[in-house]
Amino acid sequence: MKYTIIIEKGLESGYVAHAPAPKGCVAQSKTKAETLKNIKEAMEAYVEALVEDGLPVPTEVGKDTVELEVAAK
C-alpha cells in the first residue's frame, strides 16, 4: 500500500512525520532519513495489528494530491 507522509521540521530540532491515513501514526528523529524509517515502522506495526484484529485497513483511494504555490502579498 502507498500512503502520503508529511514531514515537517520540528519546533526545536529534528523532524516530525505523520500520515493522514492511517491516522495517529507519528514519528520523529534528528534526521529526515531516520524519521522516514521510524514512520514506516510505526505504520507497518499499525497495519499488521489491524489485519490481526480483522479490522479494515485505511486506504487513500480516491484521494487527489495537488501541489500549489501560494504567494502572499
pLDDT in tens, 21-36: 888 889 999 999 999 9
Residue type, 49: A
Q: Which residues pair with 18 in a beta bridge?
A: 6, 26
Q: 1-73: which CATH architecture? A: 2-Layer Sandwich (3.30)
CA distance 73 to 27: 34
Tell me the whole-structure pTM to 2 decimals: 0.77
pLDDT class of 7 with cuts at 50, 70, 90: very high
Domain ranges (residues) in the chain: 1-73
Cis? peptide before 56, omega within 30° of 0: no
